Amino acid sequence: MSFDAEAKMQFLFALRSRGVTDTPVLNAMERIDRGVFVKGYFTDRAYEDMPLPIPCGQTISQPSVVGLMTQALKVTNRDKVLEVGTGSGYQAAILALLARRVYTVDRHRRLVAEAREVFERLDLSNITAFTADGSFGLPDQAPFDRILVTAAAEDPPGPLLAQLRIGGIMVLPVGQSDTVQRLIRVTRHEEGFDYDELRPVRFVPLVEGLAKDS
Residues taking part in catalysis: 61
pLDDT in tens, the chain (214 residues): 567 788 889 999 999 999 999 999 999 999 999 999 998 888 888 999 999 999 988 899 999 999 999 999 999 999 999 999 999 999 999 999 999 999 999 999 999 999 999 999 999 999 999 999 999 999 999 999 999 999 898 899 999 999 999 999 999 999 976 677 999 999 999 999 999 999 999 887 787 767 776 4
**Given strand 192-201, what is the order of strands in its sheet?**
127-131, 101-106, 80-84, 144-149, 164-174, 181-189, 192-201
